[in-house]
Amino acid sequence: MNGGTNVWSLSGFLLGEYMNLIDSVAHTNPTNYKGIMGLGEQVSSDLFLPDGVFSLWSRDAADPVQSATFPATNMYGTHPMYMAKATDNTWFGVYTNLAAAQDWFVTNDATTGDVSLKSMAVGGVGDIFFMFGATPDAVVTQYHTIVGKPVLTPQWALGWHQCKWGYTDLDMLKQVVQNYTDNILPFNTMWSDIDYMNNYEDFTFDPVNFAGLGDWVNTIKAQNISYVPIIDAGIAQRNGGTYEPYNDGVTNDVFIKTSTGDIFTGKVWPDDAAYPDFFNPATSVWWSKWLADFQSKVAFDGVWLDMNEASNFCNGVCYDSQLASSPVKDQLMYTPTGRDLETKSMALDAVHMGGVTELDAHSLFGTMELKATHDYF
C-alpha cells in the first residue's frame, strides 16, 4: 500500500534448493493503460512490457531484440526492477535484489490495470524493495539509493568518440585522427579494440604493429584527445610462459576455480583463459597493479571493459577433466531463459572465493569488475 492506494499484492511464493518462485500482481492505472516498464536489460521498441516472458541472465548477445518468448533474447545487464503508474497517478517501483538466473512471466489486464507477475529463479533469497514517488524520476532516484549512484560523467566522455575493430596497426589509428583534423571535424576520444594487444593478452600492446603506441597517445593527449583501450575479462592462460599478469595472478590465487580446486579454463580471444575472481579482495589489488603497469606505458584515460558476462567460447567447461562429477545444471528443477545457462559462459559449478558458485555469481561479474576498476581510478 502507498497511503490508501494498493499498488502490489503477493499471491504466493516458494523457496527451495535451486528454486525461488514469487507470484505477485502490480496494480497500475487502467486509464490510457500502459502497464509496467523495466526488467532490464531488454531491447524493445516499447518501454512497456507486453505479455510474455522476460529473462535475466547476463550473456554476450548479438542482435538481442526482445521477443518475449523462449529462447530469451536477453543481453548483458541484469536489473530485476520494474515501475508503473498507480491508480492515484503517482508512481511506484519494485526491485527484487536477486542475481540468480530468472524468468519473469508478464500478463497484462488492460481493463483493470492489473499486471500479473510470476518470477521463477534458480535459487537465492532476495530482498524486495518498494519505491514511491510523484514522478518516474523520483522512483529512479530511490532505486539509485539502493543499488548505488552513478558517477559524474567526465567532460571528455561526452564528446565524439571513434571506435572500430580492425584497426590493425598504429598507422591506421594515426590516419583516423588525422582525417578528423583534415576535415575540420570535432573529435574527442580514440578507442582501441583487441587489435592493439600482443597475442590478445590484457595489459600489453603489440610491440611490432603498435610500436610507439605510448608516445603517440601522449601526442594526441596534448591535443586534448583522450584514449581508451579495451580490456577483456578473460586473462590469457599461459602456463609455464612469461606472461607476467597471469603468472602473478596464479601466485596470488586470484582466479575462479573449478569444483575440484583447479583454475577454471575458458576460451576467448587468447584461446585458453582464466577469469579473475573479484569476490577475492586480493584480486582488486592484482587488477590495480596491472592496470597501473599498463597505464605507465600507455596513458589511457579510461578502459573499455569487455566480455564481462563473463564470456566463454565454450559452453561451460572446455576440457572434460574440469567437468564436475555431478553438474549442478543437471539438478535444476527449472532452467530460465529456455536455453542451457552455460551457453557461451562459465560452468555453473565454477567456484568463487567463499564457496560462491557461478550459478549464484554469474550476473554479478561485470558489476564486480567495474567496482575494482573504479577503485583503481
- 303 & 214 share domain: yes
pLDDT of residue 25: 97
pLDDT beyond 90 at 40? no
Contacts of 160 (CB under 8 A, 6+ apart): 185, 186, 187, 188, 189
Averaged pLDDT, 80-106: 96
Tens digit of each residue's pLDDT (9 = 90 or more) over 316-325: 999 999 999 9
Residue 82 phi, psi (nearest 5): -135, 160
pLDDT beyond 70 at 3? no
| pLDDT class of 250 with cuts at 50, 70, 90 | very high
Tens digit of each residue's pLDDT (9 = 90 or more) over 217-230: 999 999 999 999 99
- 184 & 46 share domain: no
The residues that are catalytic are 306, 309
pLDDT beyond 70 at 1? no
| pLDDT class of 16 with cuts at 50, 70, 90 | confident
Q: Which residue carries 492506494 as its cell?
A: 5
Averaged pLDDT, 207-215: 98
Separation CA 343–CA 39 (nearest Å):
22
- 93 & 202 share domain: no
Q: Which three cell numbers stand for residue 292?
A: 597501473
- 160 & 139 share domain: no
Alpha-carbon torsion 131, 136, 141, 144, what sign? positive
Q: What is the mean pLDDT of the chain?
A: 95
Assigned domain for 65 exists:
yes
Averaged pLDDT, 39-55: 90
pLDDT beyond 80 at 48? yes
- 143 & 159 share domain: no
Assigned domain for 1 exists:
no
Separation CA 276–CA 253 (nearest Å):
9
- 75 & 132 share domain: yes
Q: Express as a percent the part of the chain with pLDDT over 90.
A: 88
Averaged pLDDT, 81-90: 96
Q: What is the CATH number of the domain that holds 283?
A: 3.20.20.80
pLDDT of residue 65: 87
Q: Which three cell numbers stand for residue 124?
A: 537465492
- Report DSSP letters for 101-115, one per residue: -EEEEEEE-TTT-EE
Tens digit of each residue's pLDDT (9 = 90 or more) over 324-368: 999 999 999 999 999 999 999 999 999 999 999 999 999 999 999
pLDDT of residue 66: 86
The last residue of a domain, from among 99, 119, 147: 147
Tens digit of each residue's pLDDT (9 = 90 or more) over 98-153: 999 999 999 999 999 999 999 999 988 778 999 999 999 999 999 999 999 888 89
Separation CA 92–CA 85 (nearest Å):
6
38 dihedral zone (left: phi>0; alpha: psi -120 to 50; beta) = left
Reported residue count of the chain is: 377
Assigned domain for 55 exists:
yes
- The boundaries of the domain holding residue 13 are 8-147
- 138 & 160 share domain: no
Averaged pLDDT, 262-277: 98
pLDDT of residue 237: 98
- 127 & 247 share domain: no
Distances (CA, A) of 341 to 6, 202, 334, 348, 360: 37, 27, 11, 8, 12
Q: What is the CATH number of the domain that holds 125?
A: 2.60.40.1760
pLDDT beyond 80 at 289? yes
- 138 & 35 share domain: yes
Q: Which residue carries 560523467 as its cell?
A: 153
pLDDT of residue 125: 73
Q: How many domains does the chain have?
A: 2
pLDDT of residue 124: 80
The last residue of a domain, from among 88, 114, 147: 147
Assigned domain for 101 exists:
yes
- 191 & 136 share domain: no
- 163 & 43 share domain: no
